Structure 1
Amino acid sequence: MAGYKAGERMPASRVFCEELGISRNIVLLAFEQLALEGYLVGRTGSGTFVANTLPDALLLTKKLKKEPKSDNASYINTEADVYPLPLPAELIQRNSARETVIPFQNAIPSFEDFPFAVWSKIANKVLRYFNLSHLGYDDAAGYLPLREAIANYLRVHRAVNCTAEQIIIVNGSQQGLNITGQLLLPRGAEFWLEDPGYHGARAALVNAGGKCCPIPVTTPDGLDLDYAKKHYPNARMAYLTPSHQYPVGGTMPACKRLELLAWANQNHMWLIEDDYDSEFRYTGKLLASLQGMDKGGRVIYLGTFSKVLFPALRIAYLVLPTVALANHFRYHKAMLDRQHPILEQLILTEFIQEGHFTRHLRRMRILYKKRQDTLLACLRQYAPQLAYSDMNESGMHILVWLPEHLSDKAVSELLRQEGIIAPPLSDYTLTNFKKPGLLLGYSAFTEAQITQGIEKFARVVNGLI
Structure 2
Amino acid sequence: MKSICADLVLQRLVPATGAALNRQLYDCLRGAILDGSLPPSSALPASRDLARETGMSRNTVLHAYEQLRAEGYVHSRVGSGTFVAETTPESQLATGRGAAAAPARAAPVRLARRAQALVDDASAAARQWGAFMPGVPDVTQFPHRAFGRIVARLWRDPAPELLTYSHGGGHPALREAVAEHLRVARAVRCDADQVLITEGVHQAIDLSLRMLADPSDTVWVEEPGYWGFHKLLQMGAWRVRPLRVEAEGDGPGAGWPRGGSAPRLIFVTPSHQYPLGSVMSLARRRELLDFARQSGSWIVEDDYDSEFRFAGRPIPSMQGLEDDSPVIYIGTFSKTLFPGLRVGYMVLPRALAAHFRTAHADLYREGHAITQVALAELIGQGHYAAHIRRMRVLYARRRALLAGLIGEHLGPDHLHPQASNAGLHLVLRLPEDRDDVAIMEAAQARGVLSRPLSRYYRRGDGRRGLLLGYACVEEANIEPAFRVLLDCIRP
| TM-score bucket (shorter structure) | 0.7 to 0.9
Say how many residue pairs are matched: 424
Q: Secondary structure, in 3 states, of the residue corresponding to 1:177?
A: helix
Of stretches 439-448 and 381-390 in structure 1, the one that deviates more from structure 2 is 381-390
Could you tell me which residue of structure 1 aligns to residue 479 of structure 2?
A: 451
- Shift of the 261–399 alpha-carbon distance from structure 1 to 2, 3 Å rule, reads same
Could you tell me which residue of structure 1 aligns to residue 161 of structure 2?
A: 133
- Shift of the 223–205 alpha-carbon distance from structure 1 to 2, 3 Å rule, reads farther
Say which of 169, 173, 189 aligns to 2:217: 189
2:396 counterpart of 1:360 = no
Distance 1:329 1:366 in 2: 37
Could you tell me which residue of structure 2 aligns to residue 379 of structure 1?
A: 406
Could you tell me which residue of structure 1 aligns to residue 60 of structure 2?
A: 50
| Displacement of 1:151 | 0.6
2:355 counterpart of 1:328 = yes
| Displacement of 1:408 | 1.2
Matching of residues 97-108 of structure 1 within 5 Å: 98-108=126-136
Q: Which deviations, in whole Å up to 9, do the C-alpha atoms of 1:325-353 show, x marking residues without a partner?
A: 22222222222231031222122111111
Distance 2:444 2:266 in 1: 34
2:51 counterpart of 1:7 = no
Q: Secondary structure, in 3 states, of the residue corresponding to 2:485?
A: helix
Distance 2:282 2:414 in 1: 28
Say which of 120, 124, 138 aligns to 1:89: 120
Unmatched 5+ residue regions in structure 1? 10-28, 43-47
| Displacement of 1:308 | 0.7
Identity over aligned residues, as a percent?
33
| Displacement of 1:432 | 7.8
Say which of 344, 357, 368 aligns to 2:371: 344
Q: Secondary structure, in 3 states, of the residue corresponding to 1:130?
A: coil
Distance 2:254 2:379 in 1: 41
Q: Do the aligned partners of 2:166 and 2:361 also contact (CA within 8 Å) in 1?
A: no
Could you tell me which residue of structure 1 aligns to residue 229 of structure 2?
A: 201
Q: Do the aligned partners of 2:407 and 2:415 also contact (CA within 8 Å) in 1?
A: no
Q: Which deviations, in whole Å up to 9, do the C-alpha atoms of 1:412-464 show, x marking residues without a partner?
A: 222222221121111101228632111111011111111111122122222x1
Say which of 107, 111, 114 aligns to 1:71: 107
- Shift of the 287–222 alpha-carbon distance from structure 1 to 2, 3 Å rule, reads farther
Q: Which deviations, in whole Å up to 9, do the C-alpha atoms of 1:330-381 show, x marking residues without a partner?
A: 2222222310312221221111110111111111111111110000112223
Q: Secondary structure, in 3 states, of the residue corresponding to 1:248?
A: coil
2:292 counterpart of 1:273 = no
- Shift of the 387–30 alpha-carbon distance from structure 1 to 2, 3 Å rule, reads closer
Say which of 470, 478, 489 aligns to 1:442: 470
Q: Do the aligned partners of 1:191 and 1:210 also contact (CA within 8 Å) in 2?
A: yes
Q: Do the aligned partners of 1:216 and 1:224 also contact (CA within 8 Å) in 2?
A: no
Q: Do the aligned partners of 1:185 and 1:208 also contact (CA within 8 Å) in 2?
A: no
TM-score by length of 2: 0.79
Q: Secondary structure, in 3 states, of the residue corresponding to 2:355?
A: helix
Matching of residues 160-199 of structure 1 within 5 Å: 160-199=188-227
| Displacement of 1:150 | 0.4
- Shift of the 351–220 alpha-carbon distance from structure 1 to 2, 3 Å rule, reads farther
Could you tell me which residue of structure 2 aligns to residue 156 of structure 1?
A: 184
Q: Do the aligned partners of 1:333 and 1:339 also contact (CA within 8 Å) in 2?
A: yes
Distance 1:313 1:227 in 2: 36
RMSD between superposed Cα atoms in Å: 3.1
- Shift of the 241–100 alpha-carbon distance from structure 1 to 2, 3 Å rule, reads closer
2:274 counterpart of 1:239 = no
Matched letter for residue 368 of structure 2: P
Say which of 26, 29, 33 aligns to 2:49: 33
Matching of residues 266-305 of structure 1 within 5 Å: 266-295=294-323, 297-305=325-333
Q: Which deviations, in whole Å up to 9, do the C-alpha atoms of 1:103-137 show, x marking residues without a partner?
A: 11110001222222222222222223423332233
Distance 1:8 1:236 in 2: 70
Q: Do the aligned partners of 2:279 and 2:420 also contact (CA within 8 Å) in 1?
A: no
- Shift of the 189–387 alpha-carbon distance from structure 1 to 2, 3 Å rule, reads same
Matched letter for residue 402 of structure 2: L
Q: Secondary structure, in 3 states, of the residue corresponding to 1:438?
A: strand
Matched letter for residue 107 of structure 2: D
- Shift of the 178–8 alpha-carbon distance from structure 1 to 2, 3 Å rule, reads closer
Matched letter for residue 376 of structure 1: A
- Shift of the 33–166 alpha-carbon distance from structure 1 to 2, 3 Å rule, reads same
Distance 1:290 1:407 in 2: 36
Q: Do the aligned partners of 1:140 and 1:340 also contact (CA within 8 Å) in 2?
A: no
- Shift of the 424–66 alpha-carbon distance from structure 1 to 2, 3 Å rule, reads same
2:368 counterpart of 1:312 = no
| Displacement of 1:140 | 4.5
Matched letter for residue 380 of structure 2: Q
Q: Do the aligned partners of 1:193 and 1:238 also contact (CA within 8 Å) in 2?
A: yes
Of stretches 208-217 and 186-195 in structure 1, the one that deviates more from structure 2 is 208-217
Could you tell me which residue of structure 2 aligns to residue 18 of structure 1?
A: none
Q: Do the aligned partners of 2:22 and 2:64 also contact (CA within 8 Å) in 1?
A: no
- Shift of the 128–8 alpha-carbon distance from structure 1 to 2, 3 Å rule, reads closer
Q: Do the aligned partners of 2:220 and 2:241 also contact (CA within 8 Å) in 1?
A: yes
Of stretches 404-413 and 122-131 in structure 1, the one that deviates more from structure 2 is 122-131
- Shift of the 205–354 alpha-carbon distance from structure 1 to 2, 3 Å rule, reads same
- Shift of the 387–347 alpha-carbon distance from structure 1 to 2, 3 Å rule, reads same
- Shift of the 352–65 alpha-carbon distance from structure 1 to 2, 3 Å rule, reads farther
Q: Do the aligned partners of 1:195 and 1:433 also contact (CA within 8 Å) in 2?
A: no
Q: Secondary structure, in 3 states, of the residue corresponding to 1:228?
A: coil
Matched letter for residue 383 of structure 1: L
Q: Do the aligned partners of 1:237 and 1:270 also contact (CA within 8 Å) in 2?
A: yes
- Shift of the 447–54 alpha-carbon distance from structure 1 to 2, 3 Å rule, reads same
Q: Secondary structure, in 3 states, of the residue corresponding to 2:115?
A: coil
